[in-house]
Amino acid sequence: MEKADRILVRFGYERTFRSENVSHYLAADGDWGRIDILHAFRGPSLGMLDRADMLTVEPGIALRVVQVEDIIGLKIQALSNDPSRLESDWYDIRLLVRAAREQGAPLDWELIGDYLDLFHLQDRLSELRNLHGSSDQG
Statement to judge: residues 24 and 69 lie in one domain:
no
Statement to judge: residues 75 and 107 lie in one domain:
yes
Q: How far is CA 131 from the centre of its chain?
A: 19
What confidence category does residue 43 fall into, taking pLDDT thresholds of 50, 70 and 90? Answer: confident
Statement to judge: residues 5 and 71 lie in one domain:
no
What confidence category does residue 125 fall into, taking pLDDT thresholds of 50, 70 and 90? Answer: very high
C-beta of residue 13 within 8 angstroms of C-beta of residue 27: yes
For 57-126, the DSSP string reads EETTEEEEE--HHHHHHHHHHHHHH-GGGHHHHHHHHHHHHHHHHHTT----HHHHHHHHHHTT-GGGHH
pLDDT of residue 135: 61
Statement to judge: residues 94 and 125 lie in one domain:
yes
What total number of domains does the chain contain?
2
Statement to judge: residues 48 and 18 lie in one domain:
no
Statement to judge: residues 48 and 27 lie in one domain:
no
C-beta of residue 109 within 8 angstroms of C-beta of residue 138: yes
Percent pLDDT > 70 in the chain is: 97
Q: What are phi and psi of 137, to 5 degrees?
A: -95, 5
pLDDT of residue 45: 85
Statement to judge: residues 20 and 68 lie in one domain:
no
Statement to judge: residues 34 and 55 lie in one domain:
no
The phi-psi region of residue 60 (left if phi > 0; otherwise alpha if psi is between -120 and 50; otherwise beta) is left
Statement to judge: residues 65 and 2 lie in one domain:
no
C-beta of residue 79 within 8 angstroms of C-beta of residue 36: no
Statement to judge: residues 19 and 29 lie in one domain:
yes
Statement to judge: residues 34 and 102 lie in one domain:
no
Kindly state the helix (H) or strand (E) to which residue 43 belongs, with its residue range: helix 43-51
Q: How far apart are CA 38 and CA 107, in angstroms?
A: 23
Expressed as residue numbers, the domain containing 13 is 1-39
Statement to judge: residues 52 and 116 lie in one domain:
yes
Whole-number average pLDDT of the chain = 91
Q: Please give the angle made by the CA atoms of 64, 65 and 67, to the nearest 5 degrees.
A: 135
